Amino acid sequence: MSLSPQLQALIEARARDDSLIVFLTGAGISAESGIPTFRGEAGYWVRGSRVYQPTELARWATFSSKPELVWPWYLYRRGICRDAEPNSAHLALAEIEAHLGSRFVLVTQNVDGLHLRAGNSLDRTWQIHGNIDFMRCARECDPTLHEVPDLGPITQGADFDPAWKAQLRCPECQGWSRPHVLWFDESYDEERYRAESAVQAATKASLLVIVGTAGATNLPIQMGEIARRRGIPIIDINPDHDPFAALAEAGDGGWVPEPASTGLAWIRDGLTGA
């Protein structure tokens, strides 16, 4: 199998022009690396007899009152991400960026850092939900990002080890550092999450390729709607038919009902002439 003749012609046309192509990725691309979805079973956190949902823990309100509850969960999740390796879909996007250069923008909802580890550049990879490998001052005394220290294997439901506290402090004010991720009770911004840049990219793109996301968060939905209103093609790569697939089928693009690795290999080959 391959892309439909319509989509193949679209990709080949974009390969010949000098327009901007924007890629938007979600959890589906990292699922092939073994990273479970955020809201799946591995996202739950069990402490004693209490089971916490991800939506309870991924909040500023929870962290600000219970940092010693939230930090072990994030250290556990970070361990899962660090144990994973970029898959062929990540590598295909790195190859596409190398070929397109300034014509390429990647907007990712994933915090696992796998796109950067695969070879995509930080300048052209906009991590709109942050990156779990980094932390910043919880008091916002300094915007500098610092790498989360390696505190060893963290098991499901682990208690906070008091010895960690010194390594999770802001080096400037000595208050808590927090994971560099966007929480449910926080808003997108440009400084930390490149939100305005992502919107602007959607207003300039000649093609929006959406990979492995059902559009459960606001900014990706905005990008899809901007593309639809502008009448630019959308290609949605996802085994499941979702709202983005409907947007893609309503215009000059289309739905590719395949895993990320398969769909992006076809896109890469069409854009690079492989």
pLDDT at position 44:
64
How far, in Å, CA of 163 to CA of 104, rounded?
A: 44
Model confidence pLDDT, tens digit, residues 19-31 = 999 999 999 999 9
Classify residue 65 as exposed, middle or buried by CB count within 10 Å of its CB (0-12, 13-18, 19+): exposed
pLDDT at position 122:
97
| Average pLDDT score over the chain | 94
Say if residue 50's pLDDT is above 90: no
Averaged pLDDT, 78-90:
96
Q: Would you list the DSSP string of the chain?
A: ----HHHHHHHHHHHHS---EEEEE-HHHHHTTTPPPTTSGGG-EEETTEEE-HHHHSSHHHHHH-HHHHHHHHHHHHHHHHH----HHHHHHHHHHHHHGGGEEEEE---S-HHHHHT--STTEEETTEEEEEEEETT-S----EEPP------TTPPPPGGGGGGGB-TTT-SBEEEEE--TTS---HHHH-HHHHHHHHHH-SEEEEES----SHHHHHHHHHHHHHT--EEEE-SS--HHHHHHHHTT-EEE-S-HHHHHHHHHHHHHT-
Supply 218's token pair. Answer: 């606001």
How far, in Å, CA of 259 to CA of 264, rounded?
A: 9
Averaged pLDDT, 112-141:
98
For the chain, which residues make up each domain, given as ranges?
5-272
- Min mean pLDDT across 142-146, 179-183, 215-219, 245-249 is at 215-219
Q: What is the pTM of this model?
A: 0.95
Per CATH, the number for 5-272 is 3.40.50.1220
Q: Would you list the DSSP string of 128-159?
A: TTEEEEEEEETT-S----EEPP------TTPP
pLDDT at position 95:
98
Task: Indicate which residue of 90, 99, 115, 129 is catalytic.
Answer: 129
CB-based contact 214:240 (threshold 8 Å): yes
> Is 129 among the catalytic positions?
yes
Say if residue 185's pLDDT is above 60: yes
